[in-house]
Amino acid sequence: MLVASGLQPRAIEPHPSRTNKKVPLNSATYLFHMEPRRLKRLMSFLYIFRNHERGVFRHTSMAEEVSKQGIAALLQWNALLISFALFVTLAILGGITAKNDWTNIGILLLLIIIALALLITSADFFVEGAKGLARRAGMAEVVIGLTIVSIGTSLPEILVTATASATSGNDPALMDLAVGNIYGSILVQITLVLGIVVAFKPLEIRPAWLRRDGLLMLLSVILLTALLWEGGGLSRIEGGILVLIYGLYITWLLSDTAKIREDEQQVVENIKRADFTWTGTAYTVMVVIGLTLAVYSANQLVKYACEIAYQLNVPHAIVGSTMSGLGTSLPELTVAMVAVRKSQGVAIGTLIGSNITDPLLSIGIAALVSPISLTSASYDLTMYLIIPATIIGVSICLGMMWSGFKFSRLEGGILITFYLLFILALELERQGYLVI
């Protein structure tokens, strides 16, 4: 047909790679003669490989690669603006209160709420910066999740306890606040917070994870109790032992990376992930600003909590185990709720990990700062009500975990009820109806 119409067929030249002509084996000539489809596939592979080796792999195409943001963008970030606004508000309102000698309960409660909000936002700011620096240093995501994230959620407890211990020279009752804050945080997290999470969505429990971390949580609480019971406090040596045990725990966890990744991967991937990619300088600024504001807010929180204790004539141990314990547990509640929205049964691991950190690392650091000793005014209340309630709450929680390896909404309601009964017992003791 082509010949009849006067048209001559065009000779089709084969691709150079399909001829017998030899092509020099250098990279430039090879890429030039490669089929477009193969070239595209190779470039995609090289892009993924490069980012994987750098430890910054993202599920994006080459066109979607996000440029790193520096200090200018950081100063406009909402998280920093909110933290700065809370800091200014707390400083101004605290100054006005001190100048005019306003010490009524309403103003003190407002100052405590602002201090707690600043403590939580600044601690989260610090965690994001520390995680970013860890990523840039090549640390695996699972390692970051098991160390920085777990410690970061316990940072309010660590700072409040250490601050109370450091300033206890002028007021020995602050030691009661430090101890009460640790046990109160554990009890709040394992009963009220866990109950709220389970009420939101029932959780599945992994037996392997339970055998590893659940029992250690109970043993950590019992060990701390035994040390307090034996000497009525903690020496620097005992604090160092607790910190050392925590370090050995982290080392033990990381000794089997594959198993850890299987159990905790989803929590690591879904919790506290940064929305932006920042420069190293920006991450460093996050760490400095976050830690500075967190230390300041912790000092203010301890100050105003003690003032309320004096105003209401309430033992410091009660303030620490209720108001302070509940406030410093808000990061754990936030993280757990994020995890459960992703339908992850390991959301409970966030709470358990924090409850290992608190009785080992948090109180251990406080004892290293200054030896801890309970005052006679709060000794009986702490040893015979707060501590037994915490141990019983942890035991009930573990018993529920072992029975079917799941948490139902009914069991969540039981945990919440247990915490409310604990609050009732504290009030009855304060009113004199319950003698300890």
| Residue 243 reports pLDDT greater than 80 | yes
pLDDT in tens, 196-237: 888 887 777 766 666 767 888 899 999 999 999 887 789 999
Highest mean pLDDT among 3-12, 181-190, 245-254, 335-344: 181-190
- For range 268-282, the mean pLDDT: 58
Q: How confident is the model at residue 275 (pLDDT cuts 50, 70, 90)?
A: very low
Highest mean pLDDT among 15-29, 156-170, 198-212: 156-170
DSSP state of 347: G
Longest dimension (CA), the chain: 115
* Inter-axis angle of helices 236-254 and 348-357, nearest 10: 150
Matching residue, tokens 């948490």: 407
Report the C-alpha gap between 188 and 156 in whole angstroms.
14
Q: In the numeric block, which tokens belong to residue 58?
A: 């993202």
- For range 146-152, the mean pLDDT: 66
Classified as helix, coil or strand, 174 is helix
Let me know if 308 is exposed, middle or buried by CB neighbors in 10 A (0-12, 13-18, 19+): middle
Report the C-alpha gap between 72 and 135 in whole angstroms.
21
- For range 73-83, the mean pLDDT: 73
Q: Which of 357, 132, 373, 102 is nearest to 235 (CA)?
A: 373
Report the C-alpha gap between 119 and 53 in whole angstroms.
36
Classified as helix, coil or strand, 234 is strand
Average pLDDT over the chain, rounded to an integer: 75
Per-residue model confidence (pLDDT) at position 65: 40
pLDDT in tens, 174-198: 889 889 989 998 999 889 988 888 8
| Residue 263 reports pLDDT greater than 70 | no
Alpha helices (H) along 16-169: 27-32, 36-54, 71-74, 78-100, 105-136, 141-144, 150-153, 155-166
Report the C-alpha gap between 91 and 78 in whole angstroms.
20
Task: Tell me which of 4-8, 162-166, 229-233, 308-312 is least confident.
Answer: 4-8
Phi, psi of 315 (to 5 degrees): -55, 145
The CATH number of 70-431 is 1.20.1420.30
Task: Tell me which of 191-200, 271-280, 308-317, 405-414 is least confident.
Answer: 271-280
Report the C-alpha gap between 219 and 359 in whole angstroms.
10
Share of the chain above pLDDT 70, in %: 66
Q: Which of 75, 56, 74 is nearest to 66 (CA)?
A: 56
Higher-pLDDT residue of 62, 386: 386
Higher-pLDDT residue of 147, 251: 251
Task: Tell me which of 170-174, 252-256, 281-285, 373-377 is least confident.
Answer: 252-256
Matching residue, tokens 């082509």: 2
The pTM (predicted TM-score) of the whole model is: 0.68
| Residue 319 reports pLDDT greater than 60 | yes
Per-residue model confidence (pLDDT) at position 137: 67
DSSP labels, 2-20: TTTTTPPPPPPPPPGGGSS
**Are residues 416 and 199 in contact, defined by beta-carbon separation less than 8 angstroms?**
yes
